[in-house]
């Protein structure tokens, strides 16, 4: 196996390791939390709070209505019991009853509106609760698949690392240092480029015939004059 071929095989392993580690990182983020689930959970919490507040308001109005009914009943009892004989006092009491009954009519309108709101909010809260339950089931299913994928990737990474270690033992320290230096400078981590259709597969530069020959024989490492990567020709 030539020097360039050994480094190319090392590059293939490292590229696989890079992809696997990137995906493992993505999986950990996905397992830590799901934005869609958090949004659905927040929506359900808001719906529950709105229903709770509206129900409390309705209860308060019902208590006010009961208190007003009791007051009206008490005042009517006074008016019609015969206990009051003064005409002016009777007129005043009748006027007060009229005012109380008007307030009761207005309160009925408020009660109707509050009941309609509670019914609507109850339907909204049920819909949000059902959506949350479905989102949680989906997240649980997705998490199970992600954990299974993570386990497979970890096994693959361990296997690649073992292969890498064995391969590195057959490569000189000087070549490994050059490979690592080039790889560290490249955004995609590719230090070894294939020659395809007579050009560097990474930058598209056409190397000289001498470099192509070096890349084929592998006796000496051929370096792309444009991107600085090690060239390898299969």
Q: DSSP letters of 204-234?
A: -----HHHHHHHHH-SS-EE-TTT-PEEE--
- DSSP annotation of 170 reads T
194 bridge partner residues = 232
164 and 176 assigned to the same domain:
no
103 and 120 assigned to the same domain:
yes
Most confident of 34-38, 79-83, 144-148: 144-148
161 and 186 assigned to the same domain:
no
Query: Which residue segment(s) compose the domain that 198 sits in?
Result: 3-10+172-232
130 and 150 assigned to the same domain:
yes
> Of 168, 194, 212, which marks where a domain is finished?
168
- Whether 143 is in a domain gets the answer yes
What is residue 148's predicted lDDT score, i.e. its pLDDT?
Answer: 97
Average pLDDT over residues 134-150: 95
222 bridge partner residues = 231
Q: In this predicted model, which residue has the larger pLDDT, 154 or 86?
A: 154
- Whether 28 is in a domain gets the answer no
From the list 127, 175, 209, the residue with the least C-alpha distance to 3 is 175
Average pLDDT over residues 24-31: 94
199 and 160 assigned to the same domain:
no
> Of 141, 168, 195, which marks where a domain is finished?
168
Mean pLDDT computed over every residue of the chain: 94
What is residue 146's predicted lDDT score, i.e. its pLDDT?
Answer: 96
127 and 204 assigned to the same domain:
no
What is residue 147's predicted lDDT score, i.e. its pLDDT?
Answer: 97
């Amino acid at each position: 196996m030539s020097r360039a071929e050994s480094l190319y095989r090392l590059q293939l392993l490292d590229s696989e390791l890079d992809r696997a580690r990137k995906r493992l990182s993505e999986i950990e983020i996905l397992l830590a939390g799901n934005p869609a689930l958090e949004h659905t959970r927040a929506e359900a919490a808001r719906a529950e709070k709105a229903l709770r507040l509206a129900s409390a308001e309705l209860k308060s109005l019902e208590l006010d209505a009961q208190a007003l009914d009791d007051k009206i009943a008490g005042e009517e009892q006074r008016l019609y019991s015969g206990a009051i004989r003064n005409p002016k006092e009777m007129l005043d009491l009748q006027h007060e009853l009229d005012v109380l009954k008007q307030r009761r009519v207005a309160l009925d309108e408020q009660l109707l509106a509050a009941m309609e709101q509670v019914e609507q909010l109850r339907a909204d809260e049920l819909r949000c609760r059902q959506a949350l339950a479905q989102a949680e089931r989906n997240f649980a299913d997705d998490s199970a698949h992600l954990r299974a994928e993570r386990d497979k990737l970890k096994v693959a990474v361990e296997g690649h690392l073992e292969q890498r270690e064995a391969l590195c033992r057959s490569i000189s320290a000087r070549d490994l240092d050059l490979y690592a230096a080039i790889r560290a400078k490249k955004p995609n981590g590719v230090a070894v480029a294939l020659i395809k259709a007579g050009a560097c597969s990474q930058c598209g530069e056409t190397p000289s015939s001498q470099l192509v020959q070096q890349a084929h024989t592998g006796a000496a490492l051929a370096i792309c004059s444009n991107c600085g990567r090690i060239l390898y020709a299969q």
